[in-house]
Amino acid sequence: MRAASLKPLARLMGRELLMTFFLLIGVSVVVFVILYLAPGDPFSVLLEGEMPTEAAREGIRQAMGVPTTWYSQYFAWLGKMLVGDFGTSIRTGMPVLPELLRVGWNTLVLTGGAMLVTLLVAVPVALYSAVRGVTLISWPLTILAYVISALPLFWLGYLVLYVAMRHFGIFPFAFASLGSEPKLIYFLLPILVLGLGSGAISEVVRHLREESSRVLDEEYVRTARAKGASVWRHAFKEGFLLPVTAIMATKVPFLIGGAIIVEQVFNWPGMGRMAWQAAQDRDYPVIMAIAIAAALLVRIGTLVQRVVYVTVNPRASQE
């Protein structure tokens, strides 16, 4: 049994990883082309606003060994990337990868925590309304969840900041207070803001409520009840696990997008802030690395969902 169900999983992983590879190549091409076509270049950063002559530019290019055509630039980058070298930042001159891993971890904490907040709020509301139907409790809760989801993230972020500073005297900047021990609240506020404001709550509530109330009405769940077994034990896979992983997988890109805003507002040193800074500087190696990392995160979300689906669904795992 076990061995039989592991084999399709391995096959799935192989296929998905191969697809991920091509997807990332595709993403890098698109991002690179957009960057190349966009106005501005790293020179203005390097020269701190001084306008060099065309001859001086060419001199710098040659001194730095920059290939002349866009595709030779791209393939030079790709060649190095494939062996794990993401190059050095034009702005700081530091290697990109260690820095990316450091801020990537921060972003992971932020988005992962936000995901948890989203689920902690949305799941009880969804399940309560699925079990009880529309009641005096579930109706306002659902409305509240929708309203919170509809708030613009930057507005919610600044509002929370304002209230925290003005009325509670806390400066919830995650890493701003140098020297002093970072307090838990500095981490919690941005995570709460992203978790509540990313718009995922209403989607989870709606999707999970529909799915779980549908499954609770399924005949096999009635059988479970009729045999005196736990209803949720039988309804869990189709009525909870599958819808939650499906909806969260589709929400990963939105969470990452939201993270950029929240990181700006709360000065959270994550990938979003790094991307923002790099985009202003036209720091090509950094932008490219972040694009790859973001695409990878989105891909991982989908992969988790696929793995759960195949593991849970007996047809998918045995055929």
Partner 1 sequence: MSASLLKIDNLRTYFYSRSKRAFIRSVDGVSLAINRGETLGIVGESGCGKSVTALSVMGLITATPGVITGRIDFANGTLHRNLLDGLDQSVRLSEEEGRIMDVVKDSGAWQRQSDRLQRGVRGGEIAMIFQNPKASMNPFEPVGAQIVEAVRLHTEHTGKKEAEQRALHWLERVRIDSPRLRFHNHPYGLSGGMCQRAMIAMALAAEPSLLIADEPTTGLDATIQSKIVDLLAELKAEIGITTLLISHDMGVIGRLADRVAVMYGGRVVEEGGAQQVLAGGEGNHPYTRALIASIPGAAEVRQKSYLQAIEGDVLDTINIPAGCRFYERCNRVTEAVRERCADCEPQLFDAGSGQRVRCWLFAP
**Where on the chain is the footprint of partner 1 (CB under 8 A)?**
1, 132-133, 218-220, 222-229, 234, 237-238, 312-315, 318
Nearer to partner 1, 8 or 113 (CB): 8
Q: In angstroms, what is the minimal distance from the CB of 216 to partner 1?
A: 8
Q: Which residues, 6+ apart, have CB-to-CB distance to 240 below 8 Å?
A: 127, 208, 212, 232
CB of residue 14 to partner 1, shortest distance in Å: 24
CB of 204 to partner 1, least distance (A): 22
Q: 92 vs 230, which CB is nearer to partner 1?
A: 230
Smallest gap from residue 95 Cβ to partner 1 (A): 48
Q: How far is the CB of 4 from partner 1 (least distance, A)?
A: 10
Closest to partner 1 by CB, 29 vs 229, is: 229
Q: By C-beta, is 1 or 83 nearer to partner 1?
A: 1
Q: For partner 1, which is the closer residue by CB, 32 or 240?
A: 240
| Shortest Å, Cβ 206 to partner 1 | 20
- DSSP per-residue letters across the chain: -HHHHHHHHHHHHHHHHHHHHHHHHHHHHHHHHHHHHSS--THHHHTTT----HHHHHHHHHHHT--SSHHHHHHHHHHHHHTT---B-TTT-SBHHHHHHHHHHHHHHHHHHHHHHHHHHHHHHHHHHHHH-S-TTHHHHHHHHHHHHHS-HHHHHHHHHHHHHHHH-----TTTS-SSPPPHHHHHHHHHHHHHHTSHHHHHHHHHHHHHHHHHTSHHHHHHHHTT--HHHHHHIIIIIHHHHHHHHHHHHHHHHHHHHHHHHHT--SHHHHHHHHHHHT-HHHHHHHHHHHHHHHHHHHHHHHHHHHHH-HHHHH-
Q: To the nearest whole angstrom, how small is the minimum distance from the Cβ of residue 299 to partner 1?
A: 27
Closer to partner 1 by Cβ: residue 174 or 216: 216
Tokens matching residue 126: 């969804």
CA-based nearest residue to 211, from 238, 250, 251, 245:
238
Q: How far is the CB of 249 from partner 1 (least distance, A)?
A: 20
Whichever of 91 and 237 has its CB closer to partner 1, that residue is 237
Q: Which is nearer to partner 1, 91 or 225 (CB)?
A: 225
